[in-house]
Amino acid sequence: MNWLSHIGKQASRLASLELFRYIGPGFFVTVGFIDPGNWVTNVAAGSQFGYSLLWVVTLSTVILIVVQHNAAHLGIVTGLCLSEAASKFFKPWLRILMLGSAMLACAATALAELLGAAIGLNMLTGLPLLVGAVFSAVFSVWMLYSKNYQRLEKWIMGFVSLIGLAFVFEIWLADVSWVQSFSGWVTPSIPLGAMTVIMGVLGAVVMPHNIFLHSEVIQSRQWNEQGDDVIKKQLKYEFFDTLTGMGAGWAINSAMIIMAAAVFYNKGIVVTDLPQVTMTLEPLFGKASATVFAFGLLFAGLSSSVTAAMAGGSVFAGIFIEPFDINDAHSRTGIVVTLLGALIAIFLLPDPFTGILWSQIALSLQLPLTIIPLILLTSSRTVMGVYANRLLGAAVLWITGAIVIGLNVMLLVDMAR
């Protein structure tokens, strides 16, 4: 019986190791959950509206899980990223609309990341924001071209995650109203003047560039060439990967809103500048909170700007039905266009905090132009063969798309008043 027990333990251990062989891409894109754009929108939500907008994080995370799983589904089965598949199967007008707006979304994402890193540098060294943004862009290009990002990625994600988890830990130290928190998570409400913040939170969570990036990271592993058994196994493990990574993001985003509500909203303070957020970290880090926050913001901005640039390179290369390759001219052009577009916008911004918030709103406006084409691709038997979405899966996806479109229409109506 002992040898049977030993074999059972070995089999269990091997199964666990096999699981880790198939997961990873979901956690790679989860770094977007705690980028400067998320920090700004979450703090704005909590400081202005208390716990009432927590439902947006819940809804956004559910949408994100559905959409990211679908993007991974495409990459696993076809061996194509979303941009490549759109270029291969769509008519020119739809391809131009989808991928052109996606490039703008990548630049909007990079704007928030470069500004966040610049604010962190300013807090640490006094370096002017514009100079810090240029430095951050140059650093991101260097990281990609030298391929050093692959070595530092885990360290950066680890540090940024530590800051995110600090918000989670601080919940136990703060005077939090859990009754209002639980109500906020599950009760949709739209306070007067909240639509722009709601859409900012949605755009910061369901980021278009992350949808493209997830499919790119998945397709680069070329599981589609390893047969049906590997495809089926990866589809199963990938959902666990996505669910776990996005679930961690939900917890961190929620913690940021809760802390902002407990620290700022209850005192009638509306946050208009990221350095104000250091007040939320003081119970844990004391007077060193500003330094800890600045380092977290810097590393969050740098790591996220690299992924935004990678997404821009992936989208642009996909226009020519090519995968992302730092040695390819099309991928490099996409990187430069993304970062240069972001820098130009930064130089024109009058207010960094508001600029980051509106960049996230721009992402929400682009989302339908990413989600709807994705649904069309993954529901097509021409594209996916026997792995095309079934009726129930397609219905869930279309409902998701309808919710995103509906929220965007509400935002436009609110802005028109």
The pLDDT tens digits of the residues spanning 82-122 come to 999 999 999 999 999 999 999 999 999 999 999 999 999 99
pLDDT surpasses 60 at 153: no
Q: Is the pLDDT of residue 25 over 90?
A: no
Which SS3 state, helix, strand or coil, does residue 380 take? coil
Q: What is the pLDDT of residue 45?
A: 95
How far, in Å, CA of 258 to CA of 17, rounded? 36
* pLDDT for 4: 36
Is residue 50's pLDDT more than 80? yes
277 pLDDT above the threshold of 70: yes
How high is the pLDDT of residue 29? Answer: 63
DSSP of 331-361: HHHHHHHHHHHHHHHHHH-S-HHHHHHHHHH
Three-state DSSP state, 1: coil
Q: Region 24-46: what's the mean pLDDT? A: 76
pTM to 2 decimals? 0.86
DSSP letters spanning 38-66: HHHHHHHHHHHHTTTTHHHHHHHHHHHHH
pLDDT of 13 reads: 38
Q: What percent of the chain has pLDDT over 70?
A: 82
The two tokens of residue 371 are: 């989600």
Per-residue pLDDT at 11 = 35
In the chain, % of residues over pLDDT 90: 49
Q: Does CATH place domain 28-416 in 3.40.50.280?
A: no
Q: Is the pLDDT of residue 8 over 50?
A: no
Residue with tokens 């957020």: 277
pLDDT of residue 316: 96
- DSSP letter, residue 388: S
Cβ partners under 8 Å of residue 344, min gap 6 = none
Q: Regarding predicted confidence, which is higher, 386 or 219?
A: 386
Instruction: Choose the weakest-confidence range: 227-241, 265-279, 334-348.
Output: 227-241
pLDDT above 80: residue 221: no
Residue 225 has pLDDT above 90, yes or no: no
| DSSP of 230-290 | HHHHHHHHHHHHHHHHHHHHHHHHHHHHHHHHHHTGGGTPPP-SGGGGHHHHHHHHGGGHH
Residue 117: count of CB within 10 angstroms of its CB: 29
The predicted structure's pLDDT at residue 20? 39
Task: Identify the residue with better confidence: 417 or 407.
Answer: 407
How many CB atoms neighbour CB 90 within 10 A? 17
How many angstroms separate the CA atoms of 51 and 175, rounded? 13
Please indicate whether residue 306 or residue 134 has the higher confidence score (pLDDT).
Answer: 134
Rounded Cα gap, residues 280 and 267, in angstroms: 13
| Contact between 331 and 73 (Cβ < 8 Å) | no
Per-residue pLDDT tens digits for 160-209: 666 667 777 777 777 889 999 999 999 999 999 999 999 999 999 998 98
Average pLDDT of every residue of the chain: 84
pLDDT for the residue numbered 155? 61
pLDDT tens digit string along 330-373? 999 999 999 999 999 999 998 888 899 999 999 999 999 999 99
